[in-house]
Amino acid sequence: MRIAIASDHAGLALKKEISEGLVALQHDLQDLGTYDNSSVDYPDFASQVARAVRDGQVELGVLVCGTGIGMSIVANKYRGVRAALCTTEFEARMSRAHNDANVLCMGERVIGPGLGRAIAEAFVSTAFEGGRHQKRVQKIADAEAENSRS
């Protein structure tokens, strides 16, 4: 699967850990930064991954910052992006199965590296269930369209 990943400086170490796990699972991973510990602004990196998902360049995105909160706020501003902030494997699975989430957000200051890696692996290996959830996801798109008209 094509996956874009990015972090700010506060999520760099967890991004590296997650990347190792996703590459080991044979995913086609695009690392969109940041690449060192210099202080950067999380919206710049959330936007890059969100655009890649919105434009269909990748199927899924992963974003890491200190808490994951800033990344999720920014990513959810982009059309067609459904970003889920997850702290457990259960949330990650449910966000894919029920919400068809296409961007996973996590916080390096919230979860440990082992859990972060497990959450990411659960996220990318769970499929959307469709069925009764499809019309609910459509309603998310409807709300997005309504917002862009106003």
Contact between 50 and 77 (Cβ < 8 Å): yes
Tell me the closest approach of the beta carbon of residue 146 to ligand RB5, in angstroms: 27
- 145 phi, psi to nearest 5 deg: -65, -40
Q: Which of 3, 4, 42, 123 binds ligand RB5 (CB under 6 A)?
A: 42
Q: Which is nearer to ligand RB5, 27 or 83 (CB)?
A: 83
33: left (phi over 0), alpha (psi -120 to 50) or beta: left
Verify binding: residue 116, ligand RB5, rule CB under 6 A.
Answer: no
The smaller minimum CB distance to ligand RB5, of residues 21 and 70, is found at 70
- Sequence length of the chain is 150
Nearest to 107 by CA among 77, 85, 91: 85
- 69 lies in the site for ligand RB5, by CB under 6 A: yes
Q: Is 67 in the site for ligand RB5 (CB under 6 A)?
A: yes
Binding site for ligand RB5 (CB under 6 A): 8, 10, 42, 65-67, 69-70
